[in-house]
Amino acid sequence: MAENNDNDILDLDEEDYSTVLAPDIEFNGLIEFSDPLMIRGKVDGRIHATSDLLVDTGAVVNADIHARRVVIKGSVRGNIVAGKIVRVFSTGKLNGDITAPEVVLDTGCFFSGSCTMNREADA
């Protein structure tokens, strides 16, 4: 991934992710990672990363998230702190607060919470 292009996470395919939690996986607890992660299944707990997170279409995440960049195409219930960007696609649902330097809410997405846009920081 190019370090200077925050939109490159939007163009990644499944094979570009170091780890993919398949649709049939349910995980409870703390997830910590430093390489990009794609969630397609269900996660309950907390997520802490120094890298990027994609919550894919159909995924259900009930967790507070701390990551570099977060893309939501599925459903997230929890607060998000991102060092670079949070993007909620039209298929995405977010119930929780966002703190990030850049926030993109696509037309048709669902967002319930507060949004704080801060200066760029490390996640």
Q: What is the pTM of this model?
A: 0.87
For residue 86, pLDDT beyond 60 = yes
Distance CA 4, CA 105 (A): 21
For residue 104, pLDDT beyond 90 = yes
Given this model, what pLDDT does residue 120 score? 62
Distance CA 18, CA 1 (A): 12
H/E run at residue 29: strand 26-33
DSSP class per residue in 46-114: EEEESSEEEE-TT-EEEEEEEEEEEEESSEEES-EEEEEEEEE-TT-EEES-EEESEEEE-TT-EEES-
Question: For the chain, what is the mean pLDDT?
Answer: 89
Confidence grade of residue 11 (pLDDT, cut at 50, 70, 90):
low
